[in-house]
A and B are shown apart, each in its own frame.
Chain A
C-alpha cells in the first residue's frame, strides 16, 4: 500500500488538490495511507477533507491510516477534537 506524504502546508489552498488525490485513491479501491510527518501548517479545510476521506474509507471498507503526524498536525487534530474522525481503521 503506497504511503501518500502530506504536503508541508495544509492550508485552505491545499484542500482541493488533497481532496482530488484522496478521491482518486479511493476510486482505485486502494486504502488511504498518509504520512503526516512533513506537515508544518494545517487548517480546517484540509482537516475536514481528511475526515470526509476517513468516513468514505470506512463506508467502502478500505483502510485509512494517518501515520507519524508532525507536532503541528497532531496539535491541530487534538485542538479540533478530530482524533476519532481521523483514527485508523481496517
Chain B
C-alpha cells in the first residue's frame, strides 16, 4: 500500500469521524448526551489532527489543534458547555469539514483566522458560567456524575476532606493519590497491561502523548508508573523531544481494538499490549520506573509530596502462575468475537464481483432453460444451484449496502446554513439513519434530498413570527426518515409548516400555461404540479430554492434511480415528500411478458394484479382507447404495442392479458399478449451499454440468451397521460 492509498484511508476515516461528530452534536442539542459524547467528539478531532500531521496537512492540523484544545477543556469540565460555546464548537465543526475537504481535494483551505480566534477566546474564558446557562440540565447532571474521564475523577476527589495531619492544606491531595491507586483492572488480574513509550518525535506537529493517557484513562485504564529511564540531565535534554514512557493497566472488559484505536495515526510510539497478571514480567527490566508515592506517606500540604529522587523500581510481578500471558497476536482473537472487523476493498474490485455474479445468474437461468427443454428442469441439482446463486447474489449485494447515515449526516449542516439564510428556526429530527441501501443509491440521492430539505425550510416552514401567529411553536420541525417498506426504501422529508396551498398552486399552474383553466384535477394531481418544469410559487426568488428549476429535476433524479415521489400535505399543518427507491439497482424482480414478437420485463414493484378480462369488463372509447372496470373503478388501458411501435401484437383487449400497475400518475393498465414468467433479472444499463431510451429502464438477458427490455412504467404512462391519442410510434432516444 503506497502513501496515497494510506492517505485515502485517512480521508475516509475523516469522513467517518465527521459523521460521528455530527451525530453526537445532534445528541448534544437534544440534551441526550454525557461525558462520553464529548469524549467521542474530541477523539474524532484528535484522530483527524493526528492524520493531518502525519500526511503534512499543516493548516488542517493547526486548526484541529486549537479545536481539540477547546474540546479538551469542555470534556474535562474546565469549560461548561453553554449554548454560546456549543454554537462556537458547531461552527468550528463546519469549518473543520471544509478543511478536510480542502486537504482531500487539494483545494484552498478556508479562511479560518476568525474561527481560530473564536476558539482561542473560548478556550481562555475566565470562569465557567452558571449551571443554568448550560445547554441542558441533563447535560450538567450527566457530566457531573461519575464518568469514565480521568479528569472527572479528580474533579470529584479534589474537594474530599483532609485527613488533617496538621501540615495544613485541605485540598484532599492524599485522597487524590489514594483514589489514583485504586486498581482499575478487574479482580481476576486478567486485565490488559499496556506499555507506552512515545518516540523522540512524538511532540512534533503539536503531538501530545499526555492526551493518549487521558484517552486510555477514559477507557478505564489506570496509569501505574512513569518510566523516566530515558530522561537525560537537564542540560542534555532537548526540550521538544519526548523521553517519558508509561505503564498502564486496563480492565479485561476493554476491547484491545479500542485500546489500539487510541493510537490511530500516532506514528512515533512504541506500544505493547499484553493480557494477564504476569504481563509485567514482559516489560523491559532495565528501565527505571517512577511509581506513585505511598498514600500514607504523602503530606497534607499544598506542595507536591516530598520524596527522594526517582528510584529505579522494577515493576512488581504477580506470583500467580495460573495467569496467562498472551503475545499481542494471540490475544487478538479473544476480542475478535466482540468487535466488528472490517477490511477496505477497492470499489472497482467490488463492482467486478457484482458484475460477475450478475453474469452467473444469467448463465444459471440459461442453463435452467436448456435443461428444461430436455425435460431436466426439475432435477434437484438445478434447484440447489438456483438457491445458491440467489443467495450468492443477495450476499454480494449486501456488500454494497451502506447506511443512510452517510447521507443524513450532511443534513444538519444544511439546516444550520438555512437557519442563518432564512432567519427561521429549525429543529431536525432524523429517524432510521442505519437503514441500509445500495451504495449507488446513497451516492445519488444526496442532491434530490438536499433540494427537498431546502424546499421544506424555504417554502414549507413559516417564519418564527408567522408560526407564533398561527399558534405554532416558534421552532419549525423538519423530519428526515428512512425505512424499508415492501422491498424498497422509503425516504421521507416532512415539515410542520404551512402545507401546500392548492388554490395558489392551481392558479399558478394556469398562469404558467401548465394546465387549462377549466381542468379538473384531484388534490394529488394539483400537488404533483409542483414537479412540472418551470413551476414556482415562491413570492420572491431566493438563492435557496424558488427558482422553479429544482423540483422537476428532483423527480427526474429520483426516477433515474428507479424511484418515485409521493406527496401528502395538509394546509396549515405541513407537507411530506416520500421517496420510494429500490434497495439495489443491480437486480429487480420482474414479470416477463410478450408483446408481438418482443419480450419485455415489467418491474414487479409496479404490478397490482394481472387478469384476462371478461368482455363486459372493458369499455371502448373510440377506436383505440379503452377502460378496464377494476371493481367499479375505470382504469385506462395502455396499449404498449401502439406506444412502442410493435407490429403483430394483440389489438383486442378482451383477447389480451391486462396488467394493472401503480404509477406516479395513479393506476393504469398495461396491455400485453401473454405472461411468460416471473423472476429476478439482472439489470444491464442502457446508458452504459448503449444510450438512454425514454420509456425503458434498462435491459436484461433472459435464460434463452435473448435480450429483454425493462419497461419504465412511470415514464410510459406519463407520456400517455400527456398525449393519449398519439403514442410514440417508435422507441425514442432520450434527450
Q: Which residues of A contact B (CB under 8 A)?
A: 11-12, 15-16, 18-19, 22-23, 26, 40-41, 43-45, 47-49, 51-56, 58-59, 65-69, 71-72, 74-89
Shortest distance from the beta carbon of A22 to any chain B beta carbon, whole Å: 6
How far does the alpha carbon of A18 sit from the alpha carbon of B237 in the complex, in Å? Answer: 12
A16 in contact with B310 (CB, 8 Å): no
Known: A15-B240, A19-B239, A43-B208. A52 touches B304 (CB 8 A): no
| B308 proximal to A (CB < 8 A) | yes
A81 touches B226 (CB 8 A): yes
Q: Is the CB of B302 within 8 A of A68?
A: yes
Are the C-beta atoms of B180 and A78 separated by less than 8 Å?
Answer: yes
> Whole-angstrom distance between the alpha carbons of A45 and B209 in the complex?
10
A44 touches B234 (CB 8 A): no
Besides A43-B208, A58-B309, 8 more A-B contacts (Cβ < 8 Å) are A26-B234, A40-B124, A47-B210, A47-B244, A54-B309, A56-B235, A75-B76, A87-B304
The one of B76, B202, B291 that contacts A84, using a Cβ cutoff of 8 Å: B291
Q: Is the CB of A82 within 8 A of B290?
A: yes
- Residues of chain A with a CB closer than 8 A to B228's CB: 51, 85
| Interface of A: prevailing SS | helix
Could you pull out 11 A-B pairs where Cβ atoms are within 8 angstroms? A15-B239, A43-B203, A44-B198, A47-B210, A48-B231, A51-B231, A51-B244, A52-B234, A54-B309, A79-B210, A79-B223
Q: Which one, B202, B206, B242, B292, contacts A83 given CB within 8 A? A: B292
Q: Quick check: is B233 within 8 A (CB to CB) of the other chain?
A: yes
Residue of B at shortest CB range from A26?
Answer: B234
CB–CB B223/A80 < 8 A: yes
CA distance A19 to B226 in the complex (A): 21
- State the Cβ distance, B123 to closest chain A Cβ, in Å: 9
**CB-defined contacts of A55 to chain B, threshold 8 Å:** 231, 233-234, 309-310
Interface pair A84/B213, CB less than 8 Å apart: no
* A-contacting 9-mer, from B43-51, B150-158, B478-486, B673-681: B150-158
B203 touches A80 (CB 8 A): no
Alpha-carbon separation in the docked complex, A54 to B237 (Å): 13
A65 to B176, CA, bound (A): 19
The reply to whether A67 and B242 form a contact with Cβ atoms under 8 Å apart is no
Q: Could you say which residues of chain B place their CB within 8 Å of the CB of A78? A: 154, 176-177, 180
The 9 closest A-B pairs by CB, nearest first: A15-B239, A87-B307, A58-B309, A81-B226, A16-B239, A52-B234, A56-B234, A84-B307, A88-B306
Residue in B209, B234, B290, B304 whose beta carbon sits within 8 Å of that of A88 in the complex: B304
CB-CB under 8 A from A66, the residues of chain B are 303-304
B184 to chain A, nearest CB (A): 13
Residues of A near B663 (CB, < 8 A) are: none
Q: For residue B242, which residues in chain A have a CB less than 8 angstroms away from its CB?
A: 44-45, 48
Give Cα A13 to B326, complex, Å: 40
Q: A44-B209, A45-B203 are in contact. Are A23 and B234 (CB under 8 A)?
A: yes
State in angstroms the CA–CA spacing of A84 and B298 once bound together. Answer: 10
Which of B198, B214, B234, B307 meets A49, CB within 8 Å? B234
Over the window 217-255 of chain B, the binary record of Cβ atoms lying under 8 Å from chain A Cβ atoms (1 yes, 0 no) is 100000111101001111101011011101000000000
**Is B226's CB under 8 angstroms from A85's CB?**
yes
- Per-residue CB contact flags for chain B residues 294-312 toward chain A (1 = under 8 Å, else 0) read 0000000011111111100
Report which residue of B76, B177, B206, B290 has the largest number of chain A beta carbons within 10 angstroms of its beta carbon.
B290
Please, how many angstroms separate the alpha-carbon atoms of A7 and B408 in the complex?
A: 45
* B293 close to A84 (CB less than 8 A): yes
> How far apart are the CA atoms of A82 and B177 in the complex, in Å?
12
Distance of B11 from chain A, by nearest CB (Å): 27
Contacts of A58 in B (CB 8 A): 308-309
| Closest A residue to B157 using CB positions | A78
Count: A-B pairs, CB below 8 Å:
145
Give the distance to chain A from B164, nearest Cβ to Cβ, in Å.
Answer: 19
Contact B308 A89 (CB under 8 A): yes
From A43, A48, A76, A81, give the contact of B246 (CB < 8 A): A81
Let me know if A81 and B233 touch, CB within 8 A: no
From known contacts A19-B239, A78-B154, A81-B246, infer whether A56 and B233 are also in contact, taking CB-CB under 8 Å: yes
Query: Which chain A residue shows the least CB distance to B124?
Result: A40
In-complex Cβ contact of B210 among A68, A76, A86 (8 A):
A76
Residue of A23, A52, A72 with most partner-chain B CB within 10 A: A52
A49, B208: Cα distance in complex, Å: 15
Alpha-carbon separation in the docked complex, A56 to B213 (Å): 26
**Residues on B with beta carbons closer than 8 Å to the beta carbon of A47:** 210, 244
Q: From known contacts A12-B203, A78-B154, A81-B226, infer whether A43 and B303 are also in contact, taking CB-CB under 8 Å.
A: no
* Chain B residues with a Cβ under 8 A of chain A: 69, 76, 78, 124, 150-151, 154, 158, 173, 176-177, 180, 198, 202-203, 206, 208-210, 213-214, 217, 223-226, 228, 231-235, 237, 239-240, 242-244, 246, 290-293, 302-310
- Pair A79/B217 contact, Cβ less than 8 Å: yes
B180 closest partner in A (C-beta): A78
CA distance A39 to B558 in the complex (A): 58
Inter-subunit contact A12/B234 (CB<8 Å): no
In Å, the complex CA distance between A68 and B203 comes to 27
Q: Kindly provide the distance from the CB of A36 to the nearest chain B CB, expressed in whole angstroms.
A: 9
| Distance A41 CA – B210 CA, assembled complex (angstroms) | 12
Roughly how many angstroms separate A56 CA and B234 CA in the complex, as a whole number?
A: 7
Query: Which residues on B sit within 8 Å (CB–CB) of A83?
Result: 177, 292-293, 304-305, 307
For A52, what are the chain B residues with a Cβ–Cβ distance below 8 Å? 231-234, 237
Whole-angstrom distance between the Cβ of A43 and the nearest chain B Cβ: 5
Select from chain B the residue with minimum beta-carbon distance to A55.
B309
Most buried by B among A23, A40, A68, A81: A81
* Most B Cβ at <10 Å: residue of A44, A76, A86: A44
Q: Which of B76, B173, B203, B232 has the most CB of A within 10 A?
A: B203
Kindly list chain A residues whose C-beta atoms are within 8 Å of the C-beta of B246: 80-81
Contact of B310 among A26, A75, A84 (CB under 8 A): A84
Other-chain contact of A12, B69, B237, B240 (Cβ < 8 Å): B240
Q: Give chain A nearest CB distance to B570 CB in angstroms.
A: 55
B233 touches A71 (CB 8 A): no
In the complex formed, the residue of B with least CB distance to A78 is: B180
In the assembly, what is the distance between CA of A69 and CA of B171, in Å?
Answer: 11
CA distance A76 to B203 in the complex (A): 16
Residues of B within 8 A of A18 (CB): 239
Asked if B310 and A65 sit within 8 Å, CB to CB, the answer is no
Contact call A80/B213, Cβ cutoff below 8 A: yes
B78 touches A49 (CB 8 A): no
B198 nearest in chain A by CB position: A44
Task: Please determine whether B217 and A87 come into contact, CB atoms closer than 8 angstroms.
Answer: no
Interface centre among B150, B291, B310 (most CB of A within 10 A): B310
Q: A74's contact among B69, B154, B224, B232, by CB below 8 Å, is which?
A: B154
Cβ-neighbour of A82 out of B151, B226, B234 (below 8 A):
B226
Which residues on B sit within 8 Å (CB–CB) of A59? 309
Asked if residues A80 and B224 are in contact (CB atoms below 8 Å), the reply is no
Flag if B214 contacts A85 (CB, 8 Å): no
- Across-interface contacts of A48 in B (CB, < 8 A): 231, 237, 242-244
Given A44-B242, A51-B228, A80-B223, decide whether A67 and B234 contact each other with a Cβ distance below 8 A: no
Measured between C-beta atoms, what is the minimum distance from A34 to chain B in Å?
Answer: 10
Q: Looking at the complex, which one of B202, B226, B235, B293 makes contact with A23 (CB distance below 8 Å)?
A: B235
In the bound complex, do residue A19 and residue B234 qualify as a contact, i.e. CB atoms below 8 Å apart? yes
Residues in B whose Cβ lies below 8 Å from that of A76: 210
Residues of B within 8 A of A75 (CB): 76, 150-151, 154
The CA of A26 and the CA of B180, in the complex, are separated in Å by 32
Q: Which residues on B sit within 8 Å (CB–CB) of A40? A: 124
